[in-house]
Amino acid sequence: MADESTDAQVVEAVGLIDDFTPATPPVEVSIWWYVGPLIVAFVLVVVLWLMRGKIQAKYAKMTVPAPPDPAKNAREELAELRASMEGMAMREFIDRLSKIFRRYLEGHYKVRVTSQTTGEFLRAVAGNEDFEQLTRDKTQEFLETSDAAKFAHRTVPISTGTAFLDWVENFIKAVEVKPKKGAAK
């Protein structure tokens, strides 16, 4: 009987030892499990790097502000000028009014008014259909008066300055309301 108990203990001991053996992995891990994602990531980075010009161009297009509206800018500047008219010398007032008007004309008609003399500008718009004779005459009068005040230091009466301010405001309103020639009706 002693032999039987020893055999039972040996069987139990062998069963415990079998439980401590390391488990074998179910699938063999290939090197491609590591290299494959690296290759895909590398290709993605190269493609994005090659497309960076197009991506930057599209981003730049999205962030470009809208082109300035010359009429809106002129109206805002004219409102500021009208508000500050009281304490301003008429020579300075006429000069600022002339600059606002010239910037408006340059923005709207695409004529380089700010870098031209009055005579050069008037010759440039002589054939322009958008400038009627009456408009050209009044524009000439205004620009020559402002040039005389600026360069010849002629005094301009307050009533003339106010009349010119009103004329510039009305001119901008009329031009913005008037349909452009060649536009679809």
Is-contact 143 121, C-beta < 8 A? yes
Question: What tens digit of pLDDT does each residue of 91-101 get?
Answer: 899 999 999 99
Type of residue numbered 184: A
Is-contact 40 131, C-beta < 8 A? no
When pLDDT is cut at 50, 70 and 90, the band that residue 47 belongs to is very high
Q: 3-state SS of the chain: helix, strand, coil percent to 5?
A: 70, 0, 30
Q: Note the pLDDT of residue 88.
A: 85
When pLDDT is cut at 50, 70 and 90, the band that residue 182 belongs to is very low
Q: Note the pLDDT of residue 136.
A: 81
Q: Enter the pTM of the model.
A: 0.61
When pLDDT is cut at 50, 70 and 90, the band that residue 40 belongs to is very high
Q: Note the pLDDT of residue 75.
A: 92
Q: Note the pLDDT of residue 41.
A: 94
> Residue written as tokens 């005040």?
149
C-alpha distances out from residue 163 to 88, 131, 132, 159, 166, Å: 16, 20, 20, 6, 5
| Residues 6 or more apart whose Cβ sits within 8 Å of residue 151 | none
d(CA 163, CA 173): 15
C-alpha distances out from residue 127 to 17, 66, 122, Å: 108, 30, 9
Q: Of 15-24, 52-61, 107-116, 125-134, which range is least confident?
A: 15-24
Q: What angle do CA 178, 182, 185 make, to 5 degrees?
A: 70
Whether 184 has a pLDDT exceeding 60, the answer reads no
- Give which of 155, 167, 180 is closest to 74, Cα–Cα: 167
When pLDDT is cut at 50, 70 and 90, the band that residue 185 belongs to is very low
